[in-house]
Chains A and B, each alone.
Chain A
Amino acid sequence: MTAPAFPGLSYARDVAALARKDLLLELRSRDTLPAMLLFVVSTLVIFHFALPAGSSDVAAAGLLWVALVFTALLGLTRAFVAEREQRLLDGLVLAPCDRSAIWLAKALSIVAFLLLAEAVALPAFALFFDPVTAPMVAGIILADLGIAAVGTLLAAMAVASRARELLLPLLFLPLAIPIIVGGVGASVADDPGRYLGFLGLYDAVFAILSWATFEYVVTE
Chain B
Amino acid sequence: MTSSLRSNQAVLLAAAAFALLLGGLALAFYWVPQAPLEGFRQRIFYIHVPVALTAYACFGWGAWKALRLLWKRDRRYDLESYTAVHIGVIFGILTLVTGSIWARTSWGVWWSWGERQLVLFLVLFLFYCAYFMLRYSVEPGPRRAQMSAVYALFGVVLIPISFLAIRLAENFIHPVVFSRDVDENLTGSQAATFGVCLAGTLALAAALHVNELRGKRLDERLRELREALA
Contacts and interface: CB of A to CB of B under 8 A. Distances in A.
B147 A189 contact: no
Given A170-B133, A175-B154, A209-B153, A198 B165 contact: yes
Contacts of A217: 146-147, 150
A124 to B, nearest CB: 23
Contacts of A138: none
B126 A174 contact: yes
Contacts of B123: 174, 177
Interface stretch (A33-41, A72-80, A114-122, A155-163): A155-163
Given A162-B138, A189-B171, A195-B168, A213 B150 contact: yes
11 contacts: A153-B150, A174-B123, A177-B162, A178-B161, A202-B161, A209-B153, A213-B153, A216-B149, A217-B150, A220-B142, A220-B143
Tell which of A171, A175, A201 has the most Cβ of chain B within 10 Å. A175
A181 interface: yes
Nearest to A188: B172
B130 A170 contact: yes
Contacts, number: 92
Interface in B118-175: 123-124, 126-127, 129-130, 133-134, 137-139, 141-143, 146-147, 149-151, 153-154, 157-158, 161-162, 164-166, 168-169, 171-172
Interface string A54-88: 00001000000000000000000000000000000
Contacts of A157: 134, 147, 150-151
B70 interface: yes
Contacts of B126: 173-174
Interface of B: 70, 123-124, 126-127, 129-130, 133-134, 137-139, 141-143, 146-147, 149-151, 153-154, 157-158, 161-162, 164-166, 168-169, 171-172
**Count class of interface residues, chain A:** 35 or more
